[in-house]
Chain A
Amino acid sequence: PSRFRVMMSDGRHTLSSFMLSTQLNHMAEENILAPNCICNLKRHVTNILKDGRRVVIILEIDVIKPAKDVAGRIGDPTPYTEGQSKGPQSAPVPENRPPLQPQNRNEGLLGGRCLKGHNTKCMNPYMCVELTSGLIRCPKNEECRNDKLRFLFFFCNRWTIRARVTNKGSIRTWSNSRGDGKLFSMEIVDESGEIRVTGFNQEVDKFYSLIEAGKVYYISKGSLKLANKQYTSVKNDYEMTLNGESTIIPCEDSCDVPMVQCDFVSIGDLENRDKDAIVDVIGVCKSVDDISRLTTKSNREVSKRTLSLMDMSGKVVTVTLWGEEAEKFDGSSQPVVAIKGAKLSDFGGRSLSASFSSTLMINPDIPEAYKLRGWYDKEGHAMDGQSLTEVKGGSGGGNTNWKSLSDVKTEHLGHGDKADYYTCVATIVFLRKENCLYQACPSQDCNKKVVDQQNGMFRCEKCDKEFPNFKYRLILSANIADYGDNQWVTCFQESAEAILGQNAAYLGQLKDSNEAAFDEVFQHANFNTFVFRNRVKLETYNDESRIKATVMDVKPVDHKEYSKRLILNIRKLAANH
C-alpha cells in the first residue's frame, strides 16, 4: 500500500517527518486530510530509523477545520531543527500541536508508548521500561523487545516522572585520598514501581533541603545505571543519580501517587522463602502480646512485642516489633498491618521481625488493606488460622487449634514425629495430691530435684553443689474431662499453681504443717473449668508407647469468646447439611 508523508505546522515550525499510518490512507485519498486543514493529532507513535532520524506515525487524527475553510497558511513557520525553538509570537497559537513530547507527563515512572503504539506505563516515546523488573519490553507485545533500545534509554533522558519520596536518608560524607565528598539517597515510588535516587556533592546542596519525605515531586533528567542491590531492598534493577541537569519540582496534585510500593508476599508463601529473606507482608493483626523488655548483650534495654498476623491464605505468622514501634503499637480492633522490608527467620519454623530498616504501616490506605479488612470482617475473624510459628508458651500469637478431648484421640494427635498442640475447654475431675510436690535446687535457673543428704544439706547433681535448703516445685497429675472424653495431663509449676490457686512454696508449707488445709486446696480446685493449652506426644518407654499430655497454659474460660465460637460452629454445621 502507498505511504503518505505529511508535513505539519504548528504555526511556529514545520516538520515533515510525519507518516500517515496505512489504515488512515483513505483520509489522504479522499482529500479529508488536505494541505492547510487544521487537525488534532490524537494518537501517534515515534519510530527511530536506522540512521537515527525520527519519524512520527500518525495513528489517529481529527480534522477540525477542513482545508477549504482555512484562509491559507497560518503564521510564519520555519522548518524545525532539534534544539531550536522560536519564542512566542503575537500570532494566535493554532490548535493543532504535533506533540513531539509526551502528552501526559503523569503516566508513571518512565511511561509512554512502545514502538507498536501500545500505551504502557512508559513516559519515553521511544521505548517502554518496566521499572520493577528493569527489562525493556512492552508488556503487550514481546516483539517490541529490543536490546539496542536499552542503551538508548540510558542516554536519552527526556522523561519526567512524578513520584513520592518514601524514604529520605541523611547526608553522608566521606574523605579519602581522592578528596572529600557527600551524598544523600532517597527512595521514590509511583504507580508503576520504585527506584533509589542518589545525589552527590552539588546535588546535595541543591536538593537536600528542598525534599521532604512523603511529598510528591516532578523529577527529570536523572541518569540511570544498574543498581547495587546489596544494600537495598528496593525492587529495581536500576538506580538513578541526580546530575547537573536534573530538576526536582514539588507537585501539588499528588493524591493518586501511592504512598508506598510493596510487593506483598502471602503469609502462606513464607514457608517457601529462604530464611533471612527481606519481604513485604500485609495481614490482619489477630492478637498482640504484652510488651516485654530485654537486656541486650551490650547491656541496653530494649522493648519487644509480638503480634500474630493473618492473611487470606488462612495462615498466621508471628511478627516481632522492637523499640519504639513495639511500645507505640496498638493492636486493639485488629488493625491491618503492613510491613515493608520485614526480615524472615526460621525461628519456630517461620517468623518475621521488623528491623530498623523496615517500614511498619497500620491500616495503610492501599487497596490490599481494604480487601483484607473486608475479608476479615466477613470470614477471617472466625478462622483460627494455621500458624507458621510454633509457639511453645501456648498463649497468644500461635495457632489455637480448638479441639474436644475426643477429637484429640480420634485424630491421633501426638502420633506424628513432632508434638501436637491443641486448645480445649475442659473441667478438672481429679487431682492427684500425692507426690505433687518435689524438692528442687534453690538456684535460680535450676529446677532439678535435689537429694536429701539427711544431714540438713541437699545436693544438686546438676549444679554439683550442696545447699542447706531447697525450693518446692509442683508436678501435678490431673484428669480433665469434657462432654465426650477425658485426658490425663501433667501440669508443671505455673499451670499447677494457676489450677490450685496457691504457689508451690505455700503448698509445701501446708503439706508439712496442716494436712487438712492442704487437702482443702485440692478439693476447692476440683471441678473447675478452664481453657487448657496442651501438648501431646507419643512417648516410648521400654517397648511401651503412651500418649503424654502436658499442660502448657491454663486460662479461665472467656465465656463470651466461647459462646461466639460455639454459635459459629453450630451455624457452620447447620449450613453444611
Chain B
Amino acid sequence: MASLLDASKPRINCSMLSQHIGRGVCFVGRVEKVHPTGKTFSVSDGEGKSATVELNEPLEEELSGIVEVIGMVSSKGVITTTTYNILREDKGIPFDLELYNEALKVIHDFPQYYPFEVAASG
C-alpha cells in the first residue's frame, strides 16, 4: 500500500466519510465497542456519530479511550486500518474531542489555508 503511505491523509469525522471513499484518512475518535474477535471496533467522533474500524490483525491489547486511526475508507464507509495510536488519558492534558472536531471543521471549511495535499511521488 505504498500509495496510502505517500498520499496525504486528511483528518476527518464521520460526516466526511462518504466524501473520502477509497482514500486514506486519519480518524480520531473515542473507542465505543470492541468486537469479541478483536478484528473490528466502533469509534465515535466529536459530534457523537459512530464509525466502524476494521483491523488487518486482531487487537493484541485492551483498547479504550481516544484513538487515532490511519486507514482507508471502504465503499461501505468502514475504515480499514493499518495502524492506530492510543492517545493516553493518564498523561498530559486530557484530549478534548469536541474541540478537535471544531478544529477539523475549520480545516475543511478553509482548504485554501490548509493545503495538506502532497503530490504523490512516483
Instruction: Say whether A559 contacts B93, CB under 8 Å.
Output: yes
Partner of B99, one of A560, A570, A571, A574: A560
- Chain A nearest CB, measured from B7 CB (Å): 26
Partner of A570, one of B93, B96, B106: B106
Interfacial chain A residues near B90, Cβ < 8 Å: none
- Chain A nearest CB, measured from B106 CB (Å): 5
Bound Cα distance A563, B46 (Å): 15
- A564 lies within 8 A of chain B by Cβ: yes
Instruction: Say whether B99 contacts A563, CB under 8 Å.
Output: yes
Interface string of B99-115 (1 = CB under 8 A from A): 10011001001100000
Interfacial chain A residues near B106, Cβ < 8 Å: 567, 570-571
Within 8 A of B (CB), among A546-577: 559-560, 563-564, 567, 570-571, 574
Bound Cα distance A574, B110 (Å): 9
Considering only CB atoms and an 8 Å cut-off, how many residues of chain B contact the other chain? Answer: 8
- Chain B nearest CB, measured from A91 CB (Å): 74
Instruction: Say whether A574 contacts B93, CB under 8 Å.
Output: no
Main secondary structure of the interface of B (DSSP, over half): helix
* Candidate in B93, B102, B110 with the most chain A CB atoms within 10 angstroms: B102
Interfacial chain B residues near A564, Cβ < 8 Å: 99, 102
Bound Cα distance A571, B107 (Å): 12
Bound Cα distance A559, B94 (Å): 11
Instruction: Say whether B110 contacts A567, CB under 8 Å.
Output: no
Interfacial chain A residues near B109, Cβ < 8 Å: 574
Interfacial chain A residues near B102, Cβ < 8 Å: 563-564, 567
Which A residue sits closest to B113, measured CB to CB?
Answer: A570
Bound Cα distance A571, B103 (Å): 11
Instruction: Say whether A560 contacts B110, CB under 8 Å.
Output: no
Bound Cα distance A559, B96 (Å): 10
Which B residue sits closest to A567, measured CB to CB?
Answer: B102
Bound Cα distance A78, B103 (Å): 86
Bound Cα distance A560, B103 (Å): 11
- Chain B nearest CB, measured from A336 CB (Å): 25
Bound Cα distance A567, B106 (Å): 7
- Chain B nearest CB, measured from A274 CB (Å): 45
Known: A570-B110, A574-B109, A574-B110. A563 touches B93 (CB 8 A): no
Which B residue sits closest to A558, measured CB to CB?
Answer: B93
Which A residue sits closest to B94, measured CB to CB?
Answer: A560
Instruction: Say whether B96 contacts A567, CB under 8 Å.
Output: no
- Chain B nearest CB, measured from A559 CB (Å): 6
Interfacial chain A residues near B110, Cβ < 8 Å: 570, 574
Bound Cα distance A567, B108 (Å): 13
- Chain A nearest CB, measured from B46 CB (Å): 12
- Chain B nearest CB, measured from A218 CB (Å): 53
- Chain B nearest CB, measured from A531 CB (Å): 14
Q: 5 A-B residue contacts at CB 8 Å?
A: A559-B93, A560-B99, A563-B99, A567-B103, A571-B106
Interface residues, chain B, CB within 8 Å of chain A?
93, 96, 99, 102-103, 106, 109-110
- 7 closest A-B pairs by CB: A567-B102, A570-B106, A563-B99, A560-B96, A567-B106, A567-B103, A560-B99
6 more A-B contacts (CB under 8 A) besides A560-B99, A564-B102, A567-B103? A563-B99, A563-B102, A563-B103, A564-B99, A570-B106, A571-B106
